C-alpha cells in the first residue's frame, strides 16, 4: 500500500525540518512549503492526503490559504498550527472546515493522534463515496431494462418522481416485477441519493416487533428493551424508507403509520418526546390494495395517503417484447460473474422463453438465466439446460374467441389476433360497467391501474 503524503506548510525552516523528521518516522511521505503561494502550488503538484498549516505565513495567513483551498473545491483534511492561546484563529479555521488545530509548542503525541484520526476519517469518506457511486450505477434508472412502451413510461415516471418533493409513493405489481429496483432507482436518482436508504419487508417482521423496528424504543420500554434503539424512520432521516409488502401490516400498525406520514413525527415505544423527521416513504405491494380496502383489510385513508402518485408494474407476460433485452442483460451479467463467454441462446431455447407465462416475472427469468449460465457448455445455451417447467410447460396465453362451459378459452381453427381480442374484451367490460373503470377491472380480474394502462394502450378512452 503506498504511503500517504502530508504537506507541511510553515515559514520556519527548523519547524519544517522537525515535522518532516517525525512524520517520516511515523511512516508518511512528506512534502514541504514555506509560504501560502507555494503551498497552493504543492497541493496541485503532489496531491497530498493531509496538510499541516501554520497560521502565520509571510505572504498570506493560513486561514486565507484554507479559504482558497475550499473555494477551489479542495476538501483535504487540514490541521491548523497556531500560536498558544490564539483562540480566534482556531475558531475561524474550524468554521472553514479544518479537521483540528494544534497549539505551539507542538505536542507531537497529540499531533500524531490527530493525523491518524483525520486520515482514517478521509479513508472512510472516500470509501463511502465509492460505495455510493457504485450503488448509483447499480440502481440507475437505466437499469430498468426494456423497450416496451410500458417500461419507457415507468422510466419516465421514475425520473419525475425522483425529481419531485412528493413524500409518499406507492408501487404495485406482482412478485418479481421489479418493485425493489424501482424504489432504489427513485432514491438514487433523487436529491436524497447521499442520504440513507432503508428497506423493510413488512411480511417478514412479527407484528409484536413491527412498531419497534419502525419507530425504535426507549430503554426499559418493555422487558427485553435493555438499551435505547433507533427505529428505521429515525435512521432514514433525510433519505428514503422502503416499506415492501405494506399490505401485510395489521390495521393497528397501519393507523400508526398514517399518523407518521401525516405529521412526519413519531415517538419511540415508551417515549414521551416527539421526533421530527424528513423521510420519503415508498410503499410496495403485490396485492390489489383497492380490493383490500373494499374487504376492510387495508385502511382506506392510508391507501389514499400512499397512492398520491401510484406506479403500476405490469407482469412480464403483458410486455413480452422486453424479454429479449432482459435476456441479453442477464447473459452479460452472468458472463462477468461466472467468467464465461456465452453469446446467447439457441433459437429453440429463446422461443421457449418467449412463450412461457413467467408467473414469477423478471425475478424468475433472472433465476432461469443464472441456472443455464452455470450449466451450459459452448457459446450458445441449448433448450436442454432450461428448467423443466419452461421446456415442457411454456405456452402463450390462448386468445379468446369463445369459452367452454368451465371458462377455458377456445382458439378457433383459423386462429385470431390476440391484440384485437384483448382490445374487444376491454371494450366489452367498459360497456358492461357503463364506463366505471373499477367495475370493469373487477370483471377482467385485473387492477384498476392495469386497466387504465390498457385503455390508453388501445386508445379506448
Lowest-pLDDT range of 30-34, 207-211, 283-287, 400-404:
400-404
> 72 with 48: CB under 8 angstroms?
no
* Neighbour count for residue 351 (Cβ, 10 Å): 13
Which among 151, 451, 172 has a CA at the least distance from the CA of 316? 151
Q: Say if residue 395's pLDDT is above 60.
A: no
Q: Report the pLDDT value the prediction gives residue 410, as an integer from 0 to 100.
A: 67
CATH number, domain 140-314 = 3.40.50.300
- Residue 330 neighbours by CB under 8 Å, 6+ apart: 365, 366, 369, 370
> What fold does the segment set 399-461 form as a domain?
Arc Repressor Mutant, subunit A (1.10.10)
Q: Say if residue 286's pLDDT is above 90.
A: yes
H or E stretch including 260?
A: helix 251-263
Rounded to whole angstroms, the Cα distance separating 13 from 148 reads: 70
What pLDDT band is residue 261 in, cutting at 50, 70 and 90?
Answer: very high
pTM for the model: 0.70
Kindly write down the DSSP assignment for every residue of 147-166, as one continuous string: -SHHHHHHHHHHHHHHHS--
Q: Say if residue 99's pLDDT is above 80.
A: yes
Same fold, 5-133 and 140-314: yes
Q: Report the pLDDT value the prediction gives residue 397, as an integer from 0 to 100.
A: 44
Q: Report the pLDDT value the prediction gives residue 322, as an integer from 0 to 100.
A: 95
Lowest-pLDDT range of 40-54, 268-282, 309-323, 400-414:
400-414
What is the arithmetic mean of pLDDT over 306-323?
A: 93
CATH number, domain 317-393 = 1.10.8.60
Lowest-pLDDT range of 97-101, 172-176, 222-226, 317-321:
222-226
Lowest-pLDDT range of 156-170, 231-245, 387-401, 442-456:
387-401
Q: Where are the domains of the chain?
A: 5-133, 140-314, 317-393, 399-461
All three cell numbers of 110, joined, read 497529540
What pLDDT band is residue 84 in, cutting at 50, 70 and 90?
Answer: low
What is the per-residue pLDDT across 137-194, written as a single tens digit (0 to 9) for each?
Answer: 888 899 999 999 999 999 999 999 999 989 999 999 999 999 999 999 999 999 999 8
Q: Say if residue 259's pLDDT is above 50.
A: yes
> 62 with 96: CB under 8 angstroms?
no
> What fold does the segment set 5-133 form as a domain?
Rossmann fold (3.40.50)
Q: Say if residue 456's pLDDT is above 50.
A: yes
**What residues form DSSP beta bridges with 240?**
197, 280
Q: Report the pLDDT value the prediction gives residue 143, as an integer from 0 to 100.
A: 92
Amino acid at each position: 500500500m503506498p504511503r500517504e503524503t502530508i504537506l507541511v506548510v510553515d515559514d520556519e525552516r527548523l519547524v519544517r525540518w522537525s515535522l518532516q523528521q517525525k512524520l517520516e518516522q511515523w511512516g508518511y511521505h512528506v512534502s514541504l512549503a514555506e509560504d501560502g503561494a507555494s503551498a497552493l502550488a504543492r497541493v496541485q503538484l503532489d496531491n497530498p492526503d493531509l496538510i499541516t498549516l501554520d497560521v502565520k505565513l509571510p505572504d498570506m495567513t493560513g486561514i486565507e490559504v484554507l479559504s482558497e483551498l475550499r473555494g477551489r473545491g479542495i476538501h483535504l483534511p487540514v490541521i491548523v498550527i497556531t500560536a498558544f492561546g490564539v483562540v480566534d484563529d482556531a475558531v475561524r479555521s474550524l468554521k472553514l472546515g479544518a479537521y483540528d488545530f494544534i497549539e505551539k509548542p507542538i505536542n507531537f503525541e497529540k499531533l500524531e493522534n490527530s493525523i491518524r484520526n483525520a486520515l482514517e476519517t478521509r479513508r472512510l469518506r472516500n470509501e463511502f463515496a465509492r460505495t455510493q457511486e457504485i450503488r448509483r450505477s447499480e440502481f440507475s434508472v437505466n437499469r430498468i431494462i426494456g423497450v416496451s412502451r410500458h417500461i419507457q413510461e415507468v422510466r419516465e415516471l421514475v425520473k419525475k418522481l425522483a425529481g419531485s418533493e412528493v413524500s409518499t409513493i406507492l408501487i404495485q405489481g406482482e412478485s418479481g416485477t421489479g418493485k425493489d429496483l424501482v424504489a432504489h432507482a427513485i432514491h438514487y436518482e433523487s436529491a436524497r441519493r447521499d442520504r440513507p436508504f432503508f428497506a423493510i419487508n413488512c411480511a417478514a417482521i412479527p407484528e409484536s416487533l413491527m412498531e419497534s423496528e419502525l419507530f425504535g424504543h426507549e430503554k426499559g420500554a418493555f422487558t427485553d428493551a435493555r438499551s435505547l434503539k433507533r427505529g428505521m424512520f429515525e435512521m432514514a432521516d433525510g433519505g428514503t424508507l422502503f416499506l415492501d409488502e405494506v399490505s401485510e401490516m395489521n390495521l393497528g400498525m397501519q393507523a400508526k403509520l398514517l399518523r407518521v406520514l401525516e405529521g412526519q413525527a413519531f415517538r419511540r415505544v415508551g417515549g414521551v418526546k416527539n421526533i421530527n423527521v424528513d423521510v420519503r416513504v415508498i410503499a410496495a405491494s403485490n396485492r390489489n390494495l383497492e380490493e383490500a380496502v373494499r374487504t376492510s383489510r387495508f385502511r382506506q385513508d392510508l391507501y389514499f395517503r400512499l397512492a398520491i402518485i401510484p406506479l403500476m408494474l405490469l407482469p412480464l407476460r403483458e410486455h413480452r417484447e422486453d424479454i429479449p433485452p432482459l435476456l441479453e442483460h442477464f447473459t452479460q451479467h452472468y458472463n462477468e460473474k461466472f467468467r464465461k463467454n456465452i453469446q446467447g441462446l439457441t433459437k429453440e431455447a429463446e422461443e421457449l422463453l418467449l412463450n412461457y407465462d413467467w408467473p414469477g416475472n423478471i425475478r424468475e427469468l433472472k433465476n432461469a438465466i443464472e441456472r443455464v449460465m452455470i450449466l451450459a457448455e459452448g457459446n450458445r445455451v441449448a433448450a436442454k439446460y432450461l428448467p423443466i417447467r419452461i421446456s415442457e410447460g411454456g405456452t402463450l396465453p390462448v386468445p379468446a374467441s369463445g369459452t367452454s362451459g368451465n371458462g377455458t378459452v377456445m382458439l378457433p381453427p383459423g386462429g385470431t389476433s390476440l391484440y384485437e381480442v384483448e382490445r374487444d374484451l376491454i371494450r366489452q367490460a367498459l360497456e358492461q360497467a357503463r364506463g366505471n373503470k373499477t367495475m370493469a377491472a373487477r370483471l377482467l380480474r385485473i387492477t384498476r391501474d392495469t386497466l387504465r394502462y390498457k385503455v390508453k394502450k388501445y386508445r379506448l378512452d
